[in-house]
Structure 1
Amino acid sequence: MADYPVELLSRQPPANLHVPRVAEPTGLVDPTVIAQTHQPPGRIPRSVQRLLGPVLLLALWQLLSSAQVFDARTTPAPYTVISTAYALLASGELQTHLWSSLQRVLAGLGLGLAIGLTGAVISGLSRAGENIVDANMEILRAVPNFALLPVLIAWFGIGEDSKIILISLGVLVAIYINTYSAIRNVDAALIEAATTFGVRRREMITTVILPGALPGFLVGLRIALTSAWLALIFAETINAPLGLGRMMSDAREYFRVDIIFVLLAVYAILGLLSLSLVRYLESRLLQWRRVFDGR
């Protein structure tokens, strides 16, 4: 290598000489950061904003009741319903029936989730599994669950088993249909890309297919929770000593319209809480997915 004079090495470049700057690497963008919506300070939370509709409905209901548009014997005012709810809570009657119903719903939900999710994975991942499982699930979907009530009573009696199975039937159908459809609708380009990189089948299932089907499963879970609360009303007509359905039957028999409205409000609150649970799971499990949020 040639030796350069010291004065050349220590010489500074002219001030007017333009030296292009090399752009610094920007790095990769974290999709979870993009997916998160940062709420401006002072803004009302979305969970509170969603309560605007029910609050306006209650205000309109109270206004019409005060104007005597509604007959108090058939449509009690919100204040009357709240007073009845307070009396039921103070006596502990509402909590006892609610806890009994929650136990049935949780048992039916767990059983339906296990069967529906297992069937969807088996049917969605293999054609042999689809040939065995899918037709049976479609038949079960076509038959109204409540039409099976006499059969369930004949098979399992009037105990808790028939009630839990009736609830699980609606759950497993909703979970199966949505999860199976989501598995089969995973983008084929992702499968081809994973195959090109040499990803094995087991790893492809756990890292590509099942995460891609997760949004469909959560949609099925939302429908399943609604189906569970709907089936609970019919299930608790099978000689249930306790439960919200039993309270509803007794209130209808004695024409306690105020108690009926209290139970309707309880069902509505339980439905909203179930929806909030699914929204929370979506916000945690689907941070990688960027979707339109209705801005």
Structure 2
Amino acid sequence: MLRIGAAWLSTVALLLWWFLATLSPADSRPLPSPLEVWQAGAQLVEQGMLLPSIGVSLARVLGGLALGLALAVPAGLVAGASRLGLTLIDKPIHMMRAIPFPALAPLFIVWFGIDETMKIALIAVGVFGLIYVNLRDGVRGVDPHLLELAQAYRLDRGTVLWRILFRGALPNFMTGLRFALTVAWIALVTCETVNSSIGLGYILSRSQQFSRTDQMVLCVVLYAALGLASEALVGVLERAVTPWKQSRA
């Protein structure tokens, strides 16, 4: 309990600074107070906009994450386990990673239109590279003696990939997943500014147009909270799938 309290000290200090910094009259400060941000959130809830927007944004992030994982996991396994696979796919993927994914938005609009497909695809691009690189390096770092043992027991290739290589690369995979979730929330802001009528990015864009700093800060706080919740969920998942790592700690 003491460790949990200590972990939140910096966050509590930041919130306290925010409260003290906004004690002056509203017309003399650029930052809204916590109460004003709370009231802005309550107003958006009454309008029926905030909760559906959070749900839609979550669905977009999860959809992009699922698509990115579906593409990155096989690619990372193949590139990590095979020299031929590494030669064929590694350089094109690195070239794609070098392109800022917001720069792909106009091209994706031409390819996929301006509906949900474009948004999920853009998030998937941001997710893909981080999962791929971490999983590839994790597979290449698996103890070669395990592969020799698998060869001695004549295990089939599928068993070697999933039971030895992927399992051995799980710590690296979880690290990539942490970074990928962060990038997914960043990509969400970009894609929700395109033909969106709902979502946190839409609320943020609209609040900028009408100079509603209380709603802007509300969106920032919600992004931070959702990012923190994502990190906590990944931590729970990591403890579940890598129990040996926790026992060593």
Instruction: Tell me the residue number matched to 1:64.
Output: 21
Instruction: Tell me the residue number matched to 1:148.
Output: 104
Q: 3-state SS of the aligned residue for 1:120? A: helix
User: Which stretch of structure 1 is more off in the superposition, 261-270 or 68-77?
Assistant: 68-77
CA-to-aligned-CA distance 1:45-73 (integer Å, 9 cap, x gap): 63x5433221111011111222x399655
Conservation of the 8 A alpha-carbon contact between 1:125 and 1:183: yes
Q: Deviation at 1:292?
A: 7.6
Q: Does 1:183 align with 2:165?
A: no
Q: 1:221 to 1:105 in 2, by over 3 A?
A: same
* Alignment: residue pair count: 248
CA-to-aligned-CA distance 1:214-252 (integer Å, 9 cap, x gap): 001001110110111000000011111211111111100
CA distance, structure 1, for counterparts of residue 41 and residue 66 of structure 2:
30
Conservation of the 8 A alpha-carbon contact between 1:89 and 1:95: yes
Q: Deviation at 1:105?
A: 1.2
Conservation of the 8 A alpha-carbon contact between 2:19 and 2:34: yes
Q: Deviation at 1:84?
A: 1.8
Q: Does 1:171 align with 2:118?
A: no
Q: 3-state SS of the aligned residue for 2:198? A: coil
Conservation of the 8 A alpha-carbon contact between 2:77 and 2:165: no
Q: 1:49 to 1:71 in 2, by over 3 A?
A: farther
Q: Deviation at 1:186?
A: 1.2
CA distance, structure 2, for counterparts of residue 184 and residue 243 of structure 1:
40
Q: Deviation at 1:291?
A: 7.7
Conservation of the 8 A alpha-carbon contact between 1:64 and 1:70: no
Q: Does 1:132 align with 2:88?
A: yes
TM-score (norm 1): 0.78
Conservation of the 8 A alpha-carbon contact between 2:69 and 2:128: yes
Instruction: Tell me the residue number matched to 1:212.
Output: 168
Q: 1:57 to 1:139 in 2, by over 3 A?
A: same
Conservation of the 8 A alpha-carbon contact between 1:65 and 1:72: no
Q: Deviation at 1:136?
A: 1.5
Gaps of 5+ in 2: none
Report the structure number with the largest CA radius of gyration. Answer: 1
Gaps of 5+ in 1: 1-42
Q: Deviation at 1:112?
A: 0.6
Q: 3-state SS of the aligned residue for 1:237? A: coil
Q: 3-state SS of the aligned residue for 1:241? A: coil
Q: Deviation at 1:199?
A: 5.0
Tell me the amino acid that sits aligned with residue 113 of structure 2: G
CA distance, structure 2, for counterparts of residue 240 and residue 132 of structure 1:
38
Q: Deviation at 1:162?
A: 1.2
Q: 3-state SS of the aligned residue for 1:190? A: helix
CA distance, structure 2, for counterparts of residue 292 and residue 69 of structure 1:
54
CA distance, structure 1, for counterparts of residue 246 and residue 63 of structure 2:
34
Moved over 6 A (4+): none
Q: 3-state SS of the aligned residue for 1:289? A: helix
CA distance, structure 2, for counterparts of residue 292 and residue 144 of structure 1:
38
